[in-house]
Amino acid sequence: MDEMLQEFLTESAEQIEAASAQIVAFERHPEDESLIASIFRLVHTIKGTCGFLGLARLQRLTHAAESLIGALREGAKATPEVVSAILAAVDRIKALLAELEETGQEGDGDDSDMTDLLEVQVARCKGRGGEESHVAPVIVAETARPPIAAEAQPARHAAPSQGESAQGKRAETIRINLNTLERIMQLVSELVLTRNQLLEITRHREDDTIKPPLQRLSAMTSDLQDAVMRARMQPVERVFANLPRMIRDLATDLNKKINLVTAGGDTELDRQLIELIRDPLTHLVRNCADHGIESPDERVSLGKPTAGTIRVAASHEAGQITIEISDDGRGLNLARIKDKALKLGLTTEPQIERMTDEEICRFIFAPGFSTAEQVTNVSGRGVGMDVVRENIQAIGGSVALTSSPGKGSCFALKIPLTLAIAPALIVEANGQRFALPQHSVVEAVGLDGGEHRIEIVQGSKILQLREAVLPIGDLAELLELDRPPQPSDAAGQLAVIMRVGAHAFGITVDAVIDVQEIVVKPMGGSLQHLAAFSGHTILGDGTVVLILDPNGLREALGLEQAREAAAAQAEAARGTEADKMRLIYFRAGAGVDKVLPLSNVARIESVPSDRIERANGLMLTRHQGRLMPIVAAAPDVMVKDGDNTIFVISPGSEPFGLLVDGILDIVDDKLDIEIMGDAPGVVGVTHLNGKVIELVDIAYFVEMLRGPEADGTKCERRLLLVDDAAFFRDMLSATLLASGYEVVKAASAAQALAQVARNPRFDAVLIDVDLPDGAGYELAARLRGAGARAPALALAPFASREIVRAAAAAGMAGAVGKFQRNHLLGLIRACVGAGDDGRESFALASGAAA
Amino acid sequence: MSVEPSRIAREMSHGAAGALDGYFSIKVADDLFGLPVTRVQTIFRIGSITRAPGGPRDIVGLVNLRGKIVTAVSLRRRLGLAREEEGPGSLAIGIEQGGEAFALLVDEIGDVLSLAPDSAITPPPHIARGRAKFAVAYHRINGRILPLLNIEAVFDFSGDR
């Protein structure tokens, strides 16, 4: 692309961003002439350059926008309509610039709608310039009008000084290619390492001639490092700049009045990090506007000012940047969070009783957690807070949350200044040193027989530390380091406590040797797959050490994100909301009452006794024009005179009737199979509303009816069904058997692998995505590795979009809910069919699943 | 740290620009291989090795080569030969492959040989599969058969995880 055009694009992008922020500020402070002058200048510059570069479309548009801004400059009132029109024009300009950047030329198109809109506003301004605006401003936003005067400079100050500094700086700045800057950074990093090595070498030498110059070199290297770091720094202002506009739009969408206060915009942060915090920050601000701030009426009734305030403040302390996003809204609803956490099975009643408010608040960071009753297009989709936390953690930061009911909430993001250099603990295990990033280290605790001891509970190591009970592992064991011939006395005597997200855990090491600033270097390709390490570095003495990845350690400890991730998709048969299913509760014969998932029952029919015929030892009735076999749900269920209740079970093409004594109830409940049944026709025994009931085994009846016939004609299609819940194994296998598939059941990943080892010829593999001994997604790959070439389908209580996506990412052919019988059968048919036409075409199936 | 750039290596890699047919003969145990001079960046003796727990078996660890972290690979282990403890002082050849810096640990580095195309022979058919992939070609030189090392295969651990 033309160099001049490139430069124009870079500059315009910045100018446009600045302009839209200033327009919103201007709406609030129409008396501030310097603001509008500055906006006018920005748009004018773009217009001028467009003319020069021959960009006619942009020129026309900017010209129209300039006219309207000019009218404002001449004293027209900045009504919300005018501001909206200008903002719309700014959006269009941005879109055109984006297109220009992508294609290198202006796209065809007509902006007369926009120019007309702008002209109408110009005419209105000119005509009725002096008139009072009849609409109250929809939103009041200011860049810095703090409730407490000392906290930030008033907007009047901020804006002109910005303008001035932008003007003043232009003479002193040059644009540097980012790669050049990165290269300098790299070289400085190397220099720092070499300096450290030199210092280490000379530390043990009594040589006075070399020390003074070396010290100077050392000091200068530090200064140089600082200076280069600073060159990469940019003010957080860059992220703040688009907030006023966003708040304005949100306030309009939500019918709320919201003030935005920003402070500390000049706090500097590494360029790379600025981009990385943009999304999380935006999300949190949206969240405050959507969930935090009450509607104007509600606020008035609470005696609060009509307009809510969202405050975004950045500050720099102790090598970290803190960004606080707070609002004066309703605060988090603890009761609702508790409720939801319990429902999702994230915790238990007794646990939650002991939790502090802060701990309860943290549940909102769990995946799939959203307490919004109504899903709005702003937030409340239940993906978000977990993503925010993950993104912040990925850059070595943390999110803290405080909330007081009725007064508001505050999210505090703590972010390291830079990613390239990080403080780390140098720890030793079995004589090998490792670097442990300090950002996730909470504390180090001595274990020498004192109050802190490691106990073995159920085969796992547990550390009791004050109130907390922490999982703990030995670093040398986790990494499977060779044991030295003579373990030192210090072995495993020190526990380093770490926190990753909501998880605190410990690892034992032999010693903490040092705290050093390390230059983080990514692992080379051949070792990149090691989850326990995030990179490597060279220490002052020249030795290479591996940098431990707290996330990887947590995984090595076996702490899956289980408790959090569990949420909706988790452990089906174990008592989360997801397992709640509609159950039909009935009586059949003597003995306890029985239950069957309603999903297994296609219809409930009332059949008069005279329509039940007996032939060849079978009961038959006419159902939808065909003869349908009937079996008794228990041996002692007899056909009664008069009406008989029959469940029509339609596992596939051949429906059959299940004769029962009577329906008792239909309930929504979860099923915990407590005792496996060995009586024929019973999956197991469970509790429902305090009563013991039996879960009926549909598979048994299907087999009974198909019986000899099924054995004779060997099924051609062979399926592998992996699910740890017996209930689902039986339910699904019944469905599948009835549809003519041969089903091999496995209750665990190990069993599945064993089955594949025995005979890898399967036509499709169905895997529960949340197996206890290895996530289902992983198992798909392992089975493939073991030789099962069949397409794999992910089974979940509900095939949410995340699951479908994760399944696709894991190379699975699709995902389906366990209760979506028809969908499941359809997918299997697609997979099995694809197997005939060529293995690659099963992508089709995943399309169907999505 | 005992970084000891071999003088031969430097001279050779300078001279190598013109001599595309220059090959180092490298030796592990009784095996001899040819390695293109142009691919050799440096020859050095390694200092301390940092083990990479959980990594492929043939990766001995990480070593510091003048401020650069390189992955040390034992040719001995790669070929499935009797294991000899590699450690500080082992002879290493610096080679870059696939964007990653490697140090190939060998027992000896011999003369530079000039190979003519006509000295190539067809690969002996009975070479074990595990070994065959490590040679790209075979040459007969001075009455001996010299396999040329397949550098890509030596540093490809994708099958070893």
pLDDT at A581: 67
Using the predicted structure, report yes or no on whether residue A70 has a pLDDT greater than 50: yes
The alpha-carbon radius of gyration of chain B (Å, integer) is: 15
Highest mean pLDDT among A635-644, A730-739, A786-795, B30-39: B30-39
Express each pLDDT in A341-384 by its tens digit.
888 777 788 878 888 887 888 888 876 676 554 444 444 344 46
**Contact across the interface for B99 and A525, Cβ inside 8 Å:** yes
Give the separation between CA A461 and CA A472, rounded to whole angstroms.
6
CA distance A827 to chain B (A): 32
The answer as to whether B88 is a domain residue is: yes
How many domains does chain B divide into? 1
User: Contact B71/A527, CB-based, under 8 Å?
Assistant: yes
Backbone angles phi, psi at A748, to 5 degrees: -155, 170
- Residues A401 and A255 sit within 8 Å (Cβ to Cβ): no
Q: Check whether A564 has a pLDDT greater than 60.
A: no
pLDDT at A839 over 50: no
Q: Which residue has the tokens 């500080």?
A: B88
- Answer yes or no: is B159 within a domain: no
Domain boundaries, position B50? 7-154
In a domain, B1, yes or no: no
Report the C-alpha gap between A701 and A569 in whole angstroms.
30
Amino acid at A844: L
Identify the residue with better confidence: A698 or B135: B135
Looking at beta carbons, which residues of chain B come within 8 Å of A190?
67
User: Best residue in A434, A536, A544, A549 to probe B by mutation, most B CBs within 10 Å?
Assistant: A544
The rounded mean pLDDT for chain A is 75
End-to-end CA distance of chain B: 31
Q: How far is A155 from chain B (nearest CA, A)?
A: 50
**If you average pLDDT over residues A756-761, what whole number do you get?**
80
CA distance B33 to chain A (A): 23
In a domain, B87, yes or no: yes
pLDDT digits (tens, 9 = 90+) for A503-526: 788 998 988 888 877 877 778 888
Interface of A with B (CB under 8 A): 190, 193-194, 197, 432, 479-481, 521, 524-527, 529-530, 532-533, 536-538, 542-546
Note whether residue B161 is domain-resident: no
Below-70 pLDDT ranges, chain B: 1-21, 160-161
B2 inside domain: no
Whether pLDDT at A313 is above 90: yes
Long-range CB contact pairs, A97-106, < 8 A, 24+: A97/A9, A97/A12, A97/A13, A97/A16, A97/A58, A100/A5, A100/A9, A100/A55, A100/A58, A101/A9, A104/A1, A104/A2, A104/A5, A106/A55, A106/A56, A106/A57, A106/A58
B66 contact partners, CB below 8 Å, separation of at least 6? B3
Kindly report the backbone phi and psi dihedral angles of residue A830, in degrees, each rounded to the nearest multiple of 5, phi listed first: -60, -45
Is residue A653's pLDDT more than 60? Answer: no
Q: Report the residue from A432, A524, A537 with minimal CB separation from B51.
A: A432
Decide: residue A444, CB within 10 A, 0-12 exposed, 13-18 middle, 19+ buried: middle
Q: Could you report the per-residue pLDDT of B50-61, keeping only the tens digit for each?
A: 988 888 888 999
CATH number of the domain bearing residue B81: 2.40.50.180
Q: Which residue has the higher pLDDT, A426 or A791?
A: A426
Q: Is the pLDDT of residue A483 over 60?
A: yes
- B149 is a domain residue: yes
SS3 for A709?
helix
Condensed to tens digits (0 to 9), the pLDDT of residues A705-758 reads 765 443 434 446 788 888 887 777 777 877 787 777 888 888 888 888 888 888
pLDDT digit string, tens, across residues A94-110 = 888 888 877 777 777 77
Alpha-helical (H) ranges within A348-384 are 349-353, 357-361
Q: In the predicted model, what is the mean pLDDT of residues A563-567?
A: 36
Q: Look-up: residue for tokens 């509008």?
A: A36
With 70 as the cut, is the pLDDT of residue A92 above it? yes
Task: Give residue B33's pLDDT.
Answer: 92
Q: If you ran DSSP here, which 8-state letter would residue A591 be given? A: S
- Domains, chain A, ordered by start: 3-137 (1.20.120.160), 181-231 (1.10.287), 235-416 (3.30.565.10), 421-565 (2.30.30.40), 572-700 (2.40.50.180), 714-849 (3.40.50.2300)
**Distance, C-alpha A751 to centroid of its chain:** 32
What's the confidence (pLDDT) of residue B104?
94
A189: closest CA of chain B, how far (Å): 10
pLDDT at A434 exceeding the cut of 90: yes
Which pLDDT value is given to residue A546? 93
Q: Is ipTM over 0.90?
A: no
Tokens of A217: 């070199």
Q: Which residues from chain A sit within 8 angstroms of residue B56, using beta carbons?
A: 526-527
Q: How far is CA A345 from the centre of its chain?
A: 18
Q: What is the mean pLDDT of residues A556-584?
A: 47
Asked which of A114-128, A134-148, A211-225, A730-744 is least confident by mean pLDDT, the reply is: A134-148
Please state the pTM of the whole predicted model: 0.45
Instruction: Report the distance separating Cα A816 and Cα A849, nearest Å.
Output: 7
CA distance B159 to chain A (A): 11
In chain A, what percentage of residues exceed pLDDT 90?
A: 3
Q: Three-class SS of residue A416?
A: strand
In the stretch 13-72 of chain B, residues with CB closer than 8 A to chain A read 47-48, 50-56, 59, 61-64, 67, 69, 71
What pLDDT sits at residue A707? 54
- Over range A839-849, report the average pLDDT: 35
Would you state the pLDDT for residue A567? Answer: 33
- Predicted local confidence at residue A849, as pLDDT: 35
